[in-house]
Amino acid sequence: MRDQHASRHLVQLIEKLDQRSAVIGIIGLGYVGLPLSLRYAQAGFRVLGIDIDPAKVARLNAGASYIEHISATAIGAALAAGFEATSDFARAAEADALIICVPTPLNAYREPDLSFVLATADALLPHLHAGQVVSLESTTYPGTTDEELRPRIASRGLTVGDDIFLVFSPEREDPGNPDYETRTIPKVCGGDTPDCLRAGIALYSPAIDQVVPVSSTRAAELTKLLENIHRAVNIGLVNEMKIIADKMDIDIHEVIRAAATKPFGFTPYYPGPGLGGHCIPIDPFYLTWKARQYGLHTRFIELAGEINSDMPHWVIGKLADALNERSRSIRGSRVLVLGIAYKKNVEDMRESPSVELMEILRAKGALVDYSDPHVPVFPPMREHHFDLASVPLTPASIASYDVLLLATSHSAFDYALIQQHAALIIDTRGVYLDRLPNVVKA
């Protein structure tokens, strides 16, 4: 199977991966790394999960889960198959494959923050050895793998493509999506050299149904950015259409539903109160930052970013107008935000526009509470602090608020009950199809 020029390290690595005798090390046990760990354990590999959070490590080793859509039963099955979590980076030396799944946020200047990736790489560096494959899955700008990781590995005296193999394979997790799981989502993979790509394909093929090879790590890095920028730009377009439709007293959700009946040439995207999640609000800025190094100005992408970033303020403007028509101001009004996760039916609050809405309302003097069945207590966050717990929805509690701001349309909400008892609802998700006297669409 291997050609005569393949290094003995590559031949041995591929043999281990083919026989499932390789140890898979996964660094970062969050929404990407944990499902991937469970999938490799399910595929018959011994998996070593590494995370800097000792609380996560302890919970996993005790058979408990901290992610809503991953059950304790799934954790228990992985443990029985040989999965183990640790905070000891020295144990990376035991692994034949190291897959890095750590955050890539933006800094205060909306520039790429690679501190988690680089800190992880530096922590792994003393424990790298010949015969390993290293894969970066964290979303980043084209050039990160070869500009940042390759020189670090070379500093260990290891030749990439001969001694050790470096790939980029972007994560494509979609928490809460019932139609896809880690195994069934095709996996893009690019190698630093042709033999690195061979190692990457051998790494992912036993666990993922379809591996999609591309010519380089940079092509793989740009693939991920294109996927998410495509979504961000189209959401920006439909958010702008929402503003236009609102001025014309047209329901944009009715228009989208009608347009979506066209069987070709149209893909429906839906407006909202802003962008959320770990990818779409962040990834476009990774490309715009890198493009500036080439003297390029990404006007189209940045315009969509401006529109999407302005949506929370537009929604608050609609809320203020609706209260004003009822002879009330935001200051002193009791506001209940419905849904603070970034999307429906998950507990994930990364970059949630709901939290920005809460911040704006609080700054304007509103008395803010929230209700979210997936987030019983407002969690610690780096930039946002609310000492709140989720309010149960009862006829009395609903009626006690001046306005309910529907920000995330969880299926668990009883929308008929809400509409029956709420004095005023600001619907940012198009839940209420009919024109109702106490519902304002925003």
Q: Which of 409, 327, 406, 330 is nearest to 370 (CA)?
A: 406
- Residue 279 known to be catalytic: yes
* DSSP 8-state secondary structure symbol assigned to residue 6: S
CA distances from 289 to 113, 170, 268, 292 (A): 11, 19, 29, 5
Distance separating alpha carbons of residues 222 and 170, to the nearest angstrom: 9
* DSSP bridge partners of 426: 405, 440
- Spatial contact of 323 and 402, defined as CB atoms under 8 Å apart: yes
Token pair 């899955």 is found at 137
- Spatial contact of 26 and 40, defined as CB atoms under 8 Å apart: yes
H-assigned helices in 248-326: 252-259, 283-292, 299-325
Distance separating alpha carbons of residues 409 and 441, to the nearest angstrom: 13
Tens-place pLDDT, residues 44-57: 999 999 999 999 99
Distance separating alpha carbons of residues 33 and 100, to the nearest angstrom: 8
pLDDT tier at 3, thresholds 50, 70, 90: low
Q: Quote the pLDDT of residue 16.
A: 98
- Three-state SS for 202? helix
Question: φ, ψ for residue 286 (rounded to 5)?
Answer: -65, -40
The model carries a pTM of: 0.92
Tokens of 245: 């439709």
Residues 6+ apart with CB under 8 A from 178: none
Distance separating alpha carbons of residues 185 and 179, to the nearest angstrom: 10
Q: Quote the pLDDT of residue 71.
A: 95
Q: Quote the pLDDT of residue 2.
A: 44
Tens-place pLDDT, residues 99-136: 999 999 988 888 899 999 999 999 999 999 999 999 99
- Spatial contact of 135 and 201, defined as CB atoms under 8 Å apart: no
Over residues 199-226, the mean pLDDT reads: 98
Q: Quote the pLDDT of residue 382.
A: 76
Would you say residue 209 has pLDDT above 60? yes
Would you say residue 196 has pLDDT above 50? yes
Angle ∠(365,371,373) on CA atoms, nearest 5: 160
Q: Is residue 190 within a helix (H) or strand (E), and if so which, with residue range?
A: strand 187-191
Tens-place pLDDT, residues 355-398: 999 999 999 999 999 999 999 999 988 778 899 999 999 999 99
Q: Quote the pLDDT of residue 4.
A: 55
- Three-state SS for 105? coil
- Three-state SS for 435? coil
- Spatial contact of 355 and 349, defined as CB atoms under 8 Å apart: yes
Q: Quote the pLDDT of residue 1.
A: 40
Q: State the average pLDDT for the chain.
A: 95
Least confident span in 227-231, 277-281, 371-375, 403-407 = 277-281
Distance separating alpha carbons of residues 406 and 146, to the nearest angstrom: 44
Residue-by-residue DSSP string for 207-261:
TSS-EEEES-HHHHHHHHHHHHHHHHHHHHHHHHHHHHHHHTT--HHHHHHHHTT
Residues 6+ apart with CB under 8 A from 188: 169, 170, 172, 212, 214, 220, 223, 224
In the chain, CATH 3.40.50.720 sits at: 8-215, 231-441
Catalogue the E-assigned strands of 343-424: 367-371, 403-406
Q: Could you tell me which CATH class the domain 231-441 is placed in?
A: alpha beta
Would you say residue 229 has pLDDT above 50? yes
Q: Quote the pLDDT of residue 173.
A: 85
Going 163 to 161 to 52 to 68, the CA torsion angle's sign is negative
Fold of 8-215: Rossmann fold (3.40.50)
Tens-place pLDDT, residues 124-167: 999 999 999 999 999 999 999 999 999 999 999 999 999 999 99
Q: Quote the pLDDT of residue 282.
A: 86
- Spatial contact of 234 and 256, defined as CB atoms under 8 Å apart: no
Higher pLDDT, residue 237 or 284: 237
Q: Which of 159, 105, 414 is nearest to 286 (CA)?
A: 105
